[in-house]
Structure 1
Amino acid sequence: MITIKDLKGNEAPITNTSEISLNEKLYEVAQIDFTIYDFPENDIGFRMISERGIIILPENQQQYRISNRVEGNMGDIKYLQITALHVLHDLNDRYIKAPKREQKSKAAQDVKAIGTISNADGAVVYNSPVSAVATGRTLEHLSRWKIDQQIKVNSVVWYRVSTAEWIKAKDVSFTSDGDSEPPEIEDEQEDTSVTMTLDEFMAYITKDTKFSYSIHDQFDSYTFPDYPEGRALDLFLNTGRNAYGYEFTVDNYHIDIFKKIGKEDSFVFVDKGNIADLASSYDDLTITTHIEGESTYEDDSGQQITIYGEYTSPNADYYDRIDADYYAGSNARTESELIEELKKHIQDYPLIQITLEYHAFKDGLIDNLNDIKLGNSGWIRDRKDIDISSRIIETTHYLQSPENHEPTIVFGNVIGDLASTLAHLGAAADSSGNMGAALPSTASEAIKEFFGNSKWTEKDVKQYGRN
């Protein structure tokens, strides 16, 4: 059974649905898919299904807003295939426009110049460049005037010809005998950057929405090139997450923000060679091992400083030099800080995803380490004895399933797969005899370092594997 809530807040139960597919991914909005039927017991609930209605799941009490409906008939029975997105997606309803900046008044520049009115209709005189109110006076064509000040306002250059009398530069020329032209006004680059704490950023994107939030860890402030602008959901899922590096969980309209969600070492899984459901996919096109970049900022005196940096990953010894996109930022103030920023913008190992049916995963679990919530991390050893540090990045649960459909779990690597790559190369060397003996040794060292990042050691996993 599920509950439908319409736009007026009315609620009704719906029973005898198909199984409900609940898909959850790291950094994305959860989604449910199911089919409901116009059975007599659903007479009220079926007719309450409409655009932007809310589905409430009894299993987790979360709300999902209907985003797509497909109507059909099964004999005399009508049905609706429903897709609904977690109400976190309601952030997409709000478009955030960057606040308007006040025009900064700039001081006029003293000059000594003489110009000739070149506009055949004369030059209209204004009281000031800022208010730009015409005084009713017009300077005659070809008359000559002394200019003692100039200023640029909103890209328009103005000349002062007497106290509280200004004309536009476009009405003046300096080609007649005796004319003298003032120096060119240099354009000043206005600093539009804005520095926000994570709390300020979240308040900025959730203003005038139903959403509240809690920040559970410490995060550094981030300097944006300008006020972030766009759909609040995109700013939260992409702009903010890339800037601050947070992860999150949601409870309907409340967002909890962490450095990282999930538990470390929550599972150790061994594919003992009899599990056909284990499928791995590797993305090698994302590998980069070298990056250059810069960071531009203003020092305490207001002077603009640009520092440059370059970083080459140690993995370039194995993959060769593969350039990442040039980095341009404003957060780093020293070369060492810039290097740390550059490291975050390369992908120096293949991306791997492993998809597994839950029953197969459960059969291969070791010592009851079977916590499989989204974001949890653990270890997987495949049938070639390659050890991979993995994290649960996606789960699909099949709720209210008559066939007890088991969940599906998708794993993604955390540390990377360099050790696995080296181990595979080492195995190839052992079998072919065509490669040097140094490579398996290097692979062994890499794997030891691989496991050194966790309390689980290579020996631990081998011991569990024998059990």
Structure 2
Amino acid sequence: MLVLQNVLGDYTAIKAQDVQIVDTLNSFQTLSFSFIATKENEVAAKMMIPMTVIEVPENKQKYRLLTANSAKVGSYLQYSVTAVHIAKDMHRYYRESRLPQTQSLRACLDFMFQGTPFNYVITGDFPNFYFSEGFGENFVDELLTQCANDFKFEYYFDNYTLHIAKQIGKDESFVYVDNVNCAKISVSENYESIATHIIGYSNPKQNDSEGSTTETTYEQRIDYTSPIVESANWPVIDATPVKYDQVLDNDTLLARMKASLQDYPQIQYTIDSVNFKRFTRIKNDISVGNRGWLRDRFGIDVNTRVSSITWYPQDPSKTDAITFGNVMLDPVTWSVRNKQAYDQNVNLGRNLRKTLEYQQRINAEALESQNEIIKKMQQQINELQNADNWQSGRLFVDLSSNNGKQSANWYQKLHEDNNVEGVMIKITESTSYINELFNDQREKAKSASIKLVGVYHYLTALSVTKAIDEANHFVRQIQAANLSSDIIVAVDVEDDILPKDKAKLTAIVQAFNKTVSDAGYTKTCDYAPLSWFDARFDHSAKYQWVAAWGDNKPSNADAWQFTKDFAGYELDCSKSYNQAFL
């Protein structure tokens, strides 16, 4: 549940799904969620207007509505909503004037926040800063970013209160060891921006010539080369020189130069929270800015820091993620990694030799079957060329685990003796069932030259939410089977447990079909007995597959299941009246 407040001060609660918060160091938190505008969310839907504030009870933070996109799902609208932390309201305020050059941090913050609802708390001392062109003439949020860069501080917001420190977070707050209290640590390394040498300037000389446009000259110049050049045998790589229009002593200028020189790779570690929710032997304190230890895939202990958290405060089943910020690796670490890389390359060479031998055998087999592949491709071309001669009434059967595991000869007889050209196979039911015979049925049908027309899901959902869950289960199994997006994807609507209310069942079927179509499988199909269409639910899929046993074809049917005892078997059989099927 979330709490909404509109610009008039009216409040309402909203029942939302997929509530996600992204919290990143020195950035504004973002919020996203979705909801269906049912009767209980009717007021909330009307509050999807500019200036609405959303509060999350779990962290008591407020967010300003940014976007609210809606789409029809059955009889209701489904909203996808994004919001940004209330601190972004700073962008409402523009400072036209400028403070003169040398200023304290407090003077800058007072100047920024005057006449706004924002306040601040500073932890630690910060020296004054010299602004060569003064401070101001910008939006308050942009001025905050400038202050953070110039005064060298970090910050976070507690609603309207800005908290500032030289470094936020706590030390020694977590330990994650691969396969001990987490199952997977992902590593991202970027070497593009490494530099090892930099020149810095400060203390500009006074120019006595009025109106002069000559380039500024500086009294102090320092040339610095990173020690990693000598210790790790790295080359000298120049960085862009830095220039400060301030009076700095030698140590201060050198410190700033070192801070701006990136003489190490950009390295990030990520852990999915599903791992550390399961492993609880080591307790950890996770907040943005906190520091602790990881043991990475190389078995090296790395001191790092939480830079971003993506979490789902209202759904413990969702996978949270933590990103640990850039870390510096010393030369000893690089040496250890190089030795491990060498050992791994030796093993890789052995494995590669075996792989090449295996690939040679595969290539020989592929060469033998090449003519057969060309022959089949030519058959497909001929079928496309003859599409204008298409005839309706072509036969296909539908199979499930209820039909059992049949022999290859059984499929061959269906095709050769009974003119069966296609098959629809049940692949899933509800949110967990999978037809364990699916692969066997598909492969034997293929061997008998029976085309896979499509797959279907047996629907048991009693709500729109469950329908979406079932559709996602269906899609996952289609993807796992590596099926084409061009096949028929049908939903079997016939179970007696389904809602008797027509509007509710219509919304359930529509939600199922939309989820499947959004996943890229657009040839959706409603299967149901003839008496269910229109009476029990409104057809919403691209195609209709109608069960009506007998001799009379239903009108508007793209496919007609006309018998359940085909060719002397207990076997459902249908006729195609649309080329999408056969």
TM tier relative to shorter chain: 0.5 to 0.7
Residue of structure 2 equivalent to 1:407: 320
In 2, Cα distance between equivalents of 1:280 and 1:54: 37
2:312 equivalent to 1:398: yes
The aligned counterpart of 1:312 is 225
Query: 1:255 corresponds to which residue?
Result: 162
Compute the RMSD of aligned alpha carbons: 2.5
Q: What is the CA distance between 1:195 and its match in structure 2?
A: 1.3
Cα distance, 1:234 vs structure 2: 2.1
1:230 equivalent in alignment to 2:229: no
Matched residue count:
334
1:343 maps to which of 240, 253, 258: 258
Is this contact kept in 2: 1:270–1:364, CA < 8 A?
Answer: no
Identify the residue that residue 185 of structure 2 maps to in structure 1. 278
Post-superposition offset of 1:282: 0.6
Q: Which residue of 1 aligns with 2:9?
A: 9
Residues 1:241 and 1:416: Cα distance change in structure 2 (over 3 Å): farther
* Higher normalized contact order (CA 8 Å, seq sep 6+, divided by chain length): 1
Contact 2:70 2:78 in 1 (8 A): yes
Aligned-pair distance for 1:64?
Answer: 0.1
For 1:284, the aligned partner's letter is Y
Structure in which a larger fraction of residues adopt strand: 1
Residue 84 of structure 1: how far off its partner (Å): 0.3
1:46-445 aligned at under 5 Å gives the runs 46-99=45-98, 194-228=101-135, 229-236=137-144, 238-272=145-179, 277-297=184-204, 306-317=219-230, 318=232, 319-362=234-277, 368-401=282-315, 404-416=317-329, 418-428=331-341
Structure 1 distance, partners of 2:149, 2:61, is 27
| Equivalent residues of 1:350, 1:417 under 8 A apart | no
For residue 80 of structure 1, report the CA deviation from its aligned partner. 1.6
Partner of 2:451: none
* 1:240-273: CA deviation from partner (whole Å, max 9, x where unpaired): 1111111112111111111111111111111139
CA–CA separation in structure 2 for the residues paired with 1:217 and 1:32: 31
Between the aligned partners of 1:92 and 1:361, the Cα distance in structure 2 is: 38
**1:410 alignment partner AA:** T
2:181 and 2:276 in contact (8 A); partners too: no
Contact 1:388/1:420, CA 8 A, preserved across alignment? no
Q: CA deviation at 1:284?
A: 0.8
Q: Judging changes above 3 Å, is the alpha-carbon distance between structure 1 residues 274 and 258 closer, same or farther for their aligned structure 2 residues? A: closer
The residue identity in structure 1 corresponding to 2:265 is: P
Query: Are residues 76 and 209 of structure 1, via their aligned partners in 2, closer, same or farther at CA, if it must alter by over 3 Å?
Result: same
Question: Does structure 2 conserve the Cα–Cα contact (< 8 Å) formed by 1:65 and 1:84?
Answer: yes
AA matched with 1:65: R
For 1:373, give the aligned amino acid: S
Distance 1:19 1:194, change over 3 A: same
Distance in 1, Cα, partners of 2:117 & 2:198: 41
Q: Identity rate of aligned residues, in percent?
A: 29
- For normalisation by structure 2, the TM-score amounts to 0.54
AA aligned opposite 1:261:
I
CA distance, structure 1, for counterparts of residue 115 and residue 338 of structure 2? 56
Match for 1:407: what amino acid?
D
Aligned-residue offset at 1:427: 2.9
CA spacing shift, 1:374–1:337, aligned 2, 3 Å? closer
- Of residues 421-430 and 4-13 in structure 1, the stretch that sits farther from structure 2 once superposed is 421-430
Could you tell which deviates more after superposition, 46-55 or 354-363?
354-363
Contact 1:69–1:82 (8 Å) recurs in 2: yes
1:2 and 1:55 in contact (8 A); partners too: yes
Aligned to 2:43: 44
Amino acid across the alignment from 1:205:
M
1:20 CA drift (Å): 0.4
Aligned 8 A contact 1:196 1:221 in 2: yes
More helix per residue: 2
Post-superposition shift, 1:337? Answer: 2.5
CA shift, 1:355, in A, is: 1.4
CA distance in 2, matches of 1:394, 1:250: 15
Compute the displacement of 1:425 (Å): 1.7
> Which residue in 1 is equivalent to 2:381?
none
Q: Given residue 48 of structure 2, which amino acid in structure 1 is its aligned partner? A: I
Cα distance change on mapping 1:273 and 1:282 into 2, 3 Å: farther
Provide the TM-score with structure 1 as the length reference: 0.67
Deviates more, 1:412-421 or 1:337-346: 412-421
Using a 3 Å threshold, how does the CA distance of structure 1 residues 45 and 364 change in structure 2: closer, same or farther?
Answer: closer
TM superposition shift of 1:362:
4.9
Can you list the C-alpha shifts for 1:394-427, whole angstroms capped at 9, x where unaligned? 11111222x6213211112344465532321233
Give distance in 2, aligned partners of 1:314 and 1:349.
11
Cα deviations by residue, 1:11-65 (Å, 9 ceiling, x for unpaired): 11112x1120011000110001001221111222221220121001111211100
* Cα separation, 2, equivalents of 1:276 and 1:266: 19
CA distance in 1, matches of 2:330, 2:7: 49
Cα 1:330–1:211 change in 2 (3 A) is: same
Q: Match of 1:344, SS? A: helix
User: How far apart are the structure 2 equivalents of 1:99 and 1:260?
Assistant: 28
